[in-house]
Structure 1
Amino acid sequence: MTTAPLVAVAHGSRDPRSAETIHRLLGVVRALRPELDVRVAFLDLSEPLLGEVLDAVRADGHREAVVVPLLLGHAFHARVDVPAAVADAQQRHPDLRVRIGDVLGPDPRLDAAAWRRLLDAGADPDDPELGVLLAGAGSSHAPANRLVADVAARWQALTSWTGTVATFAAAAAPDVPAAIEALRARGARRFAVGSWFLAPGLLPDRITDLATAHSDRPLIAGPMADDLGVADLVLHRYDLATLEVPLPALA
């Protein structure tokens, strides 16, 4: 029996650094499991799109595929866009069975990847005058924002920092200036920004610009995507999905 290809689908971005980072992540995934057919897809703004990749999977003779969303929470893309793209592909290919894996978050491997990036940027867990922002995209779906806040709270419990707060680039509060002012009011004299982003792009750049404008030389962590732990998590989501009942073929 042929193993179902892993189709990893990311947001997509006008910023070419984003797709480059996702491709590097999938390179790590392939290195961890060389025998697996691993394909990259995007929901928008980058190519190839998810529907096009599923078309290619069927054209290559496969009857099954596993889609793993490279998304950090259950926001709109995960709840609406991914299932819709899969359903459209199955309309075109009624004999194609598709499993959709879970999103990447929450998972301790994501926490650890973001933590490593922050330490790499120079954050000292024993610095009592350091205020830390954990920056995410922001969503109108409150549970997705709460996931970021929960990670920030766990970090606070492990460190001597003045405080650790979640902050968002859009659609949710607090924004970066408000988060910095709140930490400053609690006594923070230095600032660091952790990244709850998989890849660079316009929103992480906005976070960096705001942090730099509202504090003196903040430490800025890089995104998580090509971390070994994230690659392992992608494979874990694939493995779990293969144990579940696939979305049935339409004929």
Structure 2
Amino acid sequence: MRDLVLAVHGSAVPEAGATVERLADAVRGLTGAPVAVGHLDHQTPSLPYVLADRPGAVVVPLLLGDGYHRTVDIPSVARHFDCAVTRGLSGEHGVALALYDRLRAAERAAGGPADAVVVAGAGSSRPGGNEGTLTAVRQLGTLLPVPVTAAYCSASEPAPAEAVARLHACGFRRVAVATHLLAPGRFTRALAEVPDVWAVGEPLADHQRTAGLVAGRYARAAAAPVVWARAAA
């Protein structure tokens, strides 16, 4: 059985590692495969270090956008170790359903539903890098009876605080933030400090739907011949 390696951005926030490890445990249970985590930044072990011990592994980018890491960084590392690289999680309807679940849980804790929602993604300056967040906005908008708009924690506009302020200026009183991020980090901490927010959803990595998406990526790639660092379905 081929190894499965989760390629994650990494964070200096201690809770991030615990969140990703819960995902890894869930994926092990779904696939029966050996699962390891390789980091692109901030944490160890690094992705090259992990892949060096697992040539031919299936690498699943734990990323919600198709920015530089997904399109350049990860494939360039993986090809040195004959690894298959799947698509990331950008645009998956399962992500929107997980986003919906997290939002509803936050709303219940706050005391009721929001009357407008901001989907806050990491942000990217690369062409197409924000498409995952924009797709999540569209998909979440079909599940909610309230306005849904996008915001970005870096590299793009509007910022979450600006998006929330715009909705308040339009007369919405209960503005919630749906966190289109995978693990705790500086972005989730910043979202928790945005003023005048009704509720903020938790990140998505340890949601059961995320584990199911990763397991599906692995199953399809593991059944195919090894292709050096090309995107698999």
Q: When the two structures are superposed, what TM-score results if normalisation uses the length of structure 1?
A: 0.83
Cα distance, 1:158 vs structure 2 = 3.2
1:82 paired to 2:62: no
What is the aligned counterpart of 2:100 among 90, 94, 115? 115
Q: Give the alignment partner of residue 199 of structure 1, picking from 167, 171, 183.
A: 183
What does 1:1-251 align with in structure 2 at a 5 Å threshold? 3-33=1-31, 35-58=32-55, 64-87=56-79, 89-90=80-81, 97-122=82-107, 130-161=115-146, 163-209=147-193, 211=194, 213=195, 215=196, 218-248=198-228
In structure 1, C-alpha distance between the alignment counterparts of 2:69 and 2:83, rounded to whole Å: 17
Could you tell which deviates more after superposition, 174-183 or 238-247? 238-247
CA distance 1:122–1:31, shift in 2 (3 Å): same
- Which runs of 5 or more structure 1 residues have no equivalent in the other structure? 59-63, 91-96
Amino acid at match of 1:81: D
Q: Cα distance, 1:244 vs. partner?
A: 4.1
Distance, in Å, in 2 between the alignment partners of 1:21 and 1:196 is: 15
Shift of 1:122: 1.4
Q: CA RMSD in A?
A: 2.1
How far did residue 243 of structure 1 move? 4.2
Displacement of 1:242: 2.5
Kindly indicate whether the alpha-carbon contact (under 8 Å) linking 2:96 and 2:139 is maintained by their aligned counterparts in 1: no
Instruction: After superposition, give the CA deviation of every residue in 1:158-192 in whole Å (9 maximum; x if it has no partner).
Output: 3332x211111110011122211221233201111
Amino acid corresponding to residue 198 of structure 2 in structure 1: P
AA at the equivalent of 1:223: P
- The separation in 2 between residues aligned to 1:184 and 1:105, in whole angstroms, is 29
8 Å CA contact 2:117–2:178 kept in 1: the answer is: yes
1:13/1:7 Cα in 2 relative to 1: closer, same or farther (>3 Å)? same
Counterpart of 1:94 in structure 2 is: none
% identical aligned pairs: 32
Q: Give the 3-state SS of the residue equivalent to 1:166 in structure 2.
A: strand
Based on CA coordinates, which of the two structures has the bigger radius of gyration? Answer: 1
Which amino acid counterpart does residue 225 of structure 1 have in structure 2?
A: A
Q: Distance in 1 between matches of 2:138 and 2:212?
A: 24
Q: Give the distance between the partners of 1:248 and 1:222, measured in 2 at CA.
A: 35
Distance in 2, matches of 1:248 and 1:178, equals 42
Partners of 2:224 and 2:29 in 1: CA distance: 25
What code does the residue aligned with 2:29 have? A
Contact 1:118 1:222 in 2 (8 A): yes
- Aligned-partner Cα distance in 2 for 1:110–1:104: 7
Distance in 1, matches of 2:15 and 2:188, equals 11
> How far apart, in 1, do the equivalents of 2:58 and 2:140 lie?
33
State how many pairs are aligned.
Answer: 227
Change beyond 3 A, Cα 1:130–1:40: same
Letter in 1 for 2:103: L
